[in-house]
Chains A and B, each alone.
Chain A
Amino acid sequence: MKKVISILVMLAVLFACFASGTQEKTKGETPVQVAIKEAVSLSWDELLVKAKAEIGNNELLVLASTSRFDEQSFTEKTGIKVKATNNAPSEIFEKVGAEVGEGLYSTDIVASVDSYNFNYASQNGWIENYVPKAFKSHIPVDNQNPLALVYYNRLFMYNNNNGELKNYIKNVWQFAELEMNGFEIKNPLLETNTMNFLITLTKEENQKILADTYKSYYGKEWNNSGEYKNIAYEWVHKFLKNAIFNNSDGTIVKNLAKSKPGATGVAVYSKFRSGDTSSIGVAAFEDTEGFAGFLFPLYIGVASTAKYPYAACLYINYCLGREGFINIFGKDVGGYSSNNEVTISENAKNAGDRELPFWKTCLIAEDMDYVTSSYAETFTLFSQWCADK
């Protein structure tokens, strides 16, 4: 009898081992999580086979805050159809919360700027993170969870009267002076990465930059009179007071081209692709004390209710590689892969663009953790300043 029981127990244990399948699956993992876990170690060809088998003739849905995903190179390479929709970041997270958050399928991939809300969506389990093993060592650890796909830069620029005016923005504290009154920027209340930049400025290391540049500009140390919490708050308040809010980066760049010499604006560099920018000077290429703008990432992840997670992972793989980056983001200036093996295109180089390491030295990079931890207080106060001009 004892023998029988022990054989039965052994069989039961063996059965349990095999019944769990060839993948290690921890209790409570969703099909999407299981697929991502497997996809991490697959090669491109292996993943392609799985993706095609999974998706067939259906479309991979991409919900993004940029229209750049609306192109055909991935489909031409793999045969997998892609349907990309672009919405503002707030609309993306509204949809993700209302649909994916309710367990409904509405998209396979979510790609958006706005680190605070992307982090929020990830923490709530609406977006799953995926970093292919092949690229892991080429992407800085800080950019891996959530995965930063590409970086954009928003730069201080001015009308240089066809090159006659040089080095107009010498110090960031010029933005606090009346001479800069009327410079154009997108409204931080409506443009989340601008708000996140202002919040990131209050970080201690950035306060030091502002303190050094204050001393250089005014010839004296910054004195905390008590009106502001710290030097960054003063800079932000005065910066917002002088700003005129415009709806569109493209319009800001076009306006600068037609403005009087010395007219200033803050806009994404990628808008230099359209229109005549020969009379626009970029502070980052000159001697500006402090910083010349800011850098912010486009994050990407797989929706937790994705129907085609293998295809989604394949797509992210594609975007991280050189071919995908150049076709989708890199044909012109202003886009930089987080994969440090992927450089900017020849077209961008010829137009005067630089690699990401250069931009990291002269721009303030959005800090997701800091923004998340200090969001409530700074966002509320800066919103008040935006509205009370």
Chain B
Amino acid sequence: MKREITITKRQRLINDVRTWFSKPVNLITVFFFIILFVLIAYPLYAVLSSSVTMGQKDSMMYNSLFKQQLKKGDFSWNNFSMLLSGKYTTDYSRALFWKPLFNSIMMSAYASIISIIVGGVIAFLITRTDVRFKKFISSVFIFPYLMPSWTLALVWKNVFINSSVGNGITGWFEAVTGICVPQWFVYGMFPCAIILGIHYAPFAYILVGGVLRNMEANLEEAATILKADRLRIIRKITLPIVLPSMISTLLLVFSSSMASFSTPNFIGSPGNFFVLSTMLKSLYQSNYSGQAYVMTLVLLLFGIGFLVLNHFVVGKRKSFTTVTGKSGQVSYIRLGKLNTLISVILIILLFFFAVFPLISFAVESLCLIQGDYSRLTLRYWLSGEDIQDLSRNVGKGLLRNSRVWGALWGSLKLSIIVALIVGTCGFLIGYGVARKRGSKLADAVSYLAFFPYLIPTMAFGAIWLSVASKLPFLRGTFILLVLVASIKYLPFASRSGTSAMMQLSGEIEESALIVGAPWFVRMTKILFPIQKSSFISGYLLPFVSCMRELTLFVLLADKDSVITMLLSYYDDADISQMSNGVNLLIIIVVLTINLIVNKLTGASIDKGIGGN
């Protein structure tokens, strides 16, 4: 006798939910949505709230200026009206907001274009042509990103400053050629855009190059058989395939450039070129910190705008799959007679932007007296006795200084832990977002993961200082630094992970699923190894960023806890030999880690895209 089974609506719902959560991709996406929402919602709320809530100092200033009766905690639009609509004077709004905003947009746009052109072209040359010195070029090209951007600005200024600019110091270019470049070439938007473009070109190099490296040649070969010329192939096949990576790069570089402070402060301000970040820092330090939060909101809105643009462009495409599990051979373009010329030009450019700064740091650290290059010494590196730098006891030489080693170890520990957390989360987020592409949940996770990048670092540090003051178990601890840095650098890894997973066809995982491979095996034995180079960069990029980060930690850590705080201390104390030495040390450590990762895993930032 047939038995009728009645399933109630409630049971059906439970079954549906259970089935939905039984898929790891759904579990991962929901998990990260909740975590990210909690960790990012408060900083966002703090920024919004601080822009419309009067602080005590803000209220004192506005009461004095506008004869108001505001108190701490009162709601007011003063910050907005003062900064945006000229409540004080239109000149004030223009000088502190509108003109810097325009400058920021233009500088960031130019920097983005430069980084994509430079990074993309070099990635193409390395992966798709027979250009010479590939190993050297791909290894050295990441150096500009390893160095703080202000160091590149310093080199630019030292080379191009001349007797017709400012106080009339003769730079190296004038000394060698006798030519004085105009002021706009030395200070202002032009050098800022160039420096930031070169500094962030490795982003394009890594993200675009990773795609090009794994892209199958079948597509291009098919087009060649159909008699399409090389330019048409690049326009119709190669470019569209690398489009998601280029957009990701554009997004990252534009946001980074908008928030960049040190380069425009160093090489823009002397040319009266002010941007939003330099104004933001000034206001933040002043008694108009509420206006600084308004600027932070504006920067966030730009970032959101780009996220929407990214979604609009990428969302139109059904698939960017380039790795399908079928075999393929990379076909190189022969450069012929141009090969030597192109190779030499690349070497010269790389030497100027990547190698020369390192030589400069080394030489500065060897000067017995600052600025005097005729007397060099290893004292500041090797001295076993305490060094008296004029009136200051500096401690022992760098390599024998326990304070330096302590701070370096602190930075290494922090960066490695942050890289492991962030890299893994980035991989998982990328998996969830790529597999559930088009769903609202995946979009939400993707946007939330990118948000921390849009919040200016100094505001981010100040917000978490305030959070930590309410949570004593966090205050002044290593865990706080790990937490803050992990949230701040998650965007790198999530972008990298998403980009990489988008290239992978679903067929690969489905094949493994059919033969009964569990989720963990599919991840670790199939997906991760295929896109290893891109995923490894998701670990290495946060590591590098954390090693050279200062602004994020300045309110949260003391000077002996991380190496960049110690560098800042030596800089403030005007002990340039030590500060240049520490700078060089940081870069050497990062390169060494890169080498170790290469030896252990076969992958590295540069190797992943053809430096073999």
6 A-B interface contacts by CB (under 8 A): A72-B393, A94-B555, A247-B269, A255-B169, A379-B287, A380-B88
Q: Which residues of B contact A (CB under 8 A)?
A: 56-57, 60-62, 64-65, 88-89, 91-92, 94-96, 99-100, 163, 165-170, 265-266, 269-270, 272, 274, 279, 281-282, 284-287, 369-372, 389-391, 393, 462, 465-466, 469-470, 472, 475-476, 554-555, 558-559, 569, 571-574, 576
In the complex, whether A21 has a CB less than 8 A from a CB of chain B is no
Residue-wise, chain A 81-97 has the 8 Å CB interface mask toward B (1 for contact) of: 00101111111001100
Contact assessment for A259 and B168 in the assembled complex, using a CB-CB cutoff below 8 Å: yes
By the criterion CB–CB under 8 Å, are A276 and B369 in contact?
yes
Tell me, rounded to whole Å, the shortest Cβ–Cβ distance linking A314 to chain B: 22
Contact in complex: B281, A190 (CB < 8 Å): yes
For residue A187, CB closer than 8 A to chain B, the reply is yes
Query: A275 interface residue, CB < 8 Å from B?
Result: yes
Q: Which residues of A have CB within 8 Å of B95?
A: 384-385, 387-388
Q: Give the distance in Å from the alpha carbon of A248 to the alpha carbon of B575 in the complex.
A: 13
Is A227 close to B, CB under 8 A?
A: no
Instruction: Decide yes or no: A98 and B572 within 8 Å by CB, A247-B265, A384-B91 being known contacts.
Output: no
**Which of A36-44, A99-107, A281-289 forms part of the interface with chain B?**
A99-107
**B279 and A258 contacting across the interface, CB-CB below 8 Å:** no
Task: Select from chain B the residue with minimum beta-carbon distance to A387.
Answer: B95
Q: Are A263 and B168 in contact (CB under 8 A)?
A: yes
Contact with B along A268-304 (1 / 0, CB 8 A): 0001011110000000000000000000000000000
When chains A and B are docked, how far (Å) is the Cα of A257 from the Cα of B469? 46
CB neighbours of A387 from chain B (8 A):
95-96, 99-100, 274, 279, 282
Contact partners of A104 in chain B: CB under 8 A: 469, 472, 475
**Least distance between A268 CB and chain B CB atoms (Å):** 10
Q: Which of B60, B167, B287, B469 meets A184, CB within 8 Å?
A: B167
Chain B residues, Cβ within 8 Å of A94: 462, 465, 555
Which of the listed residues B170, B466, B574 has the most CB atoms from chain A within 10 Å of its own CB? B574
Q: Is the CB of B60 within 8 A of A376?
A: yes
Within the assembled complex, what's the spacing in Å between the Cα atoms of A320 and B98?
A: 48
B270 near A245: Cβ-Cβ < 8 Å = yes
Asked if A217 is at the interface of the complex by the 8 Å CB criterion, the answer is: no
A183 CB–B CB distance under 8 Å: yes
Closest to B573 in A: A67
Could you tell me the distance between the alpha carbons of A185 and B329 in the complex, rounded to whole angstroms? 60
- Which residue on chain B has the smallest CB distance to residue A114? B285
Separation of A263 and B169 alpha carbons in the complex (Å): 9
* Most interface-central of B100, B170, B282 (chain A CB within 10 A): B282
A98-B469, A184-B167 known; A274-B285 Cβ under 8 A: no
B269 A384 Cβ-Cβ under 8 A: no
Cβ contact within 8 Å between A88 and B61 = no
* Complex contacts, A376 vs chain B, CB 8 Å: 60-62, 64-65
Question: Do residues A250 and B96 form an inter-chain contact, with CB atoms below 8 A?
Answer: no
* Contacting residue for B285 out of A67, A190, A386, CB 8 A: A190
Residues in A whose Cβ lies below 8 Å from that of B62:
376
Provide the bound-state CA to CA distance between A380 and B571, in Å: 30
Contact B92 A384 (CB under 8 A): yes
Question: Cβ of B372: which chain A residues have Cβ within 8 Å of it?
Answer: 275-276
Q: Once bound together, how far apart are the Cα atoms of A374 and B462, in whole Å?
A: 28
Given the complex, which residues of A lie within 8 Å of B279, measured CB to CB?
387
- Chain B positions within 8 Å of A183 at CB level: 167
Instruction: Please name 12 further chain A to chain B contacts, defined as beta carbons within 8 Å, in addition to the given A275-B372, A380-B88, sorted by A numbering.
Output: A85-B558, A102-B469, A184-B270, A192-B285, A244-B166, A259-B168, A264-B167, A275-B369, A376-B61, A376-B64, A380-B61, A388-B91
Quick one: closest A residue to B183, CB to CB? A182
A248 to B96, alpha carbons, bound, how many Å?
22
| A265 in contact with B167 given A95-B465, A375-B61 (CB within 8 Å) | yes
Q: A273-B390, A384-B95, A387-B96 are in contact. Are A189 and B282 (CB under 8 A)?
A: yes
The minimal Cβ–Cβ distance linking A371 to chain B, given in whole angstroms, is: 12
Which of A83, A190, A256: most chain B Cβ within 10 A?
A: A190
Given contacts A90-B284, A90-B285, A91-B555, whether A332 and B390 have CB atoms under 8 Å apart is yes
Output the nearest chain B residue to A188 by Cβ-Cβ distance.
B282
A341 on the B face (CB < 8 A): no
CA–CA, A119 and B404, complex, Å: 36
Contact B285 A271 (CB under 8 A): no
A91 and B554: CB pair below 8 A?
Answer: yes
How far apart are the CA atoms of A263 and B59 in the complex, in Å?
42
Nearest CB to that of A90 among chain B residues?
B285
B435 vs chain A, min Cβ distance (A) = 42
Chain A hits for B165, CB < 8 A: 182
Q: Is A331 an interface residue (CB 8 A)?
A: yes
Q: Kindly state whether residue A136 has any CB partner on chain B within 8 Å.
A: no
A346 CB to nearest chain B CB (Å): 13
Q: Does any Cβ of B come within 8 Å of A246's Cβ?
A: yes
Please determine whether B265 and A98 come into contact, CB atoms closer than 8 angstroms: no
Choose from A248, A274, A383 the contact partner of B286 (Cβ within 8 Å). Answer: A383
Q: A228 within 8 Å of B by Cβ?
A: no
Q: How far is the CA of A247 from the CA of B279 in the complex (A)?
A: 14
Residue of A nearest to B466 (CB): A98
**Do residues B287 and A250 form an inter-chain contact, with CB atoms below 8 A?**
no
A187 to B99 alpha-carbon distance, docked (Å):
18
Q: Judging by beta carbons under 8 Å apart, are A99 and B167 in contact?
A: no
What CA separation (Å) do A156 and B203 show in the bound complex? 44
Q: Which residues of A contact B281 (CB under 8 A)?
A: 190
Question: Across the interface, do B65 and A255 meet the contact criterion of CB distance under 8 Å?
Answer: no
Contact of A274 among B99, B272, B370 (CB under 8 A): B370
User: Chain B residues with Cβ under 8 A from A383's Cβ?
Assistant: 92, 96, 282, 286
Known contacts being A376-B61, A384-B96, is A331 close to B391, with CB within 8 Å?
Answer: yes
With A90-B284, A190-B281 in contact, do A273 and B391 touch (Cβ < 8 Å)?
Answer: yes
Which chain A positions have C-beta within 8 A of B470?
Answer: 102
Q: Please name the residue on chain A nearest to B559 by beta carbon.
A: A85
Residues 349-389 of A contacting B (Cβ, < 8 Å) = 375-377, 379-380, 383-389
In the bound complex, residues from chain A placing their C-beta under 8 Å from that of B391 are 273, 331-332, 347
* CB of B108 to closest CB in A, whole Å: 19
Return chain B residues, CB-CB under 8 Å to A120.
57
B269, A245: Cβ atoms closer than 8 Å: yes
Question: With A and B bound together, what is the CA distance between A332 and B99 in angstroms?
Answer: 43
Bound state CA distance, A90 and B465, in angstroms? 14
* A71 contacts B by Cβ under 8 Å: yes
Provide the bound-state CA to CA distance between A192 and B285, in Å.
Answer: 9
Complex Cα distance, B148 from A386, in Å, reads: 26
A25 contacts chain B at the CB level, 8 A cutoff: no
Q: B465: nearest residue on chain A (CB-CB)?
A: A98
Cβ-based interface call for A52 (8 A): no
Q: How far is the CB of A108 from chain B (nearest CB, A)?
A: 14
B393 and chain A: residue at smallest CB distance: A71
CA distance A123 to B57 in the complex (A): 12
Please report the C-alpha to C-alpha distance between residue A287 and residue B379 in the assembled complex, in whole angstroms. 42
Q: A254-B370, A274-B390 are in contact. Are A95 and B555 (CB under 8 A)?
A: yes
- In Å, the complex CA distance between A382 and B280 comes to 16
From A71, A248, A377, give the contact of B65 (CB < 8 A).
Answer: A377
A99 touches B469 (CB 8 A): yes
Closest approach, in angstroms, between the C-beta of B602 and any C-beta of chain A?
Answer: 43
Tell me which residues across on chain A come within 8 A of B274, comparing CB atoms.
Answer: 387
Distance in Å: Cβ of B62 to nearest Cβ of chain A? 8
Give A383 to B569 CA distance when docked, in angstroms: 28
Q: For the complex, is A215 an interface residue (Cβ under 8 Å from B)?
A: no
Q: Report the Cα distance A256→B371, complex, angstroms.
A: 12
Q: How far is the CA of A258 from the CA of B170 in the complex (A)?
A: 8
Query: How long is the Cα–Cα vector from A126 to B56 in the complex, in angstroms?
Result: 14
The interface residues of chain A lying within 8 Å CB-to-CB of B371 are: 254, 257-258, 275-276
Chain A, 61-93, CB within 8 A of any chain B CB: 67, 70-72, 83, 85-91
Bound state CA distance, A301 and B574, in angstroms? Answer: 26
- In the bound complex, how far is the Cα of B574 from the Cα of A86, in angstroms? 13
A133 near B: Cβ within 8 Å?
A: no
What residue in chain B is nearest A192 (Cβ atoms)?
A: B285
**In the complex, are the beta carbons of A375 and B287 less than 8 A apart?**
yes
Q: Assuming the A-B contacts A276-B372, A387-B274, are A263 and B572 also in contact, with contact meaning beta carbons closer than 8 angstroms in the complex?
A: no
Provide the bound-state CA to CA distance between A128 and B384, in Å. Answer: 42
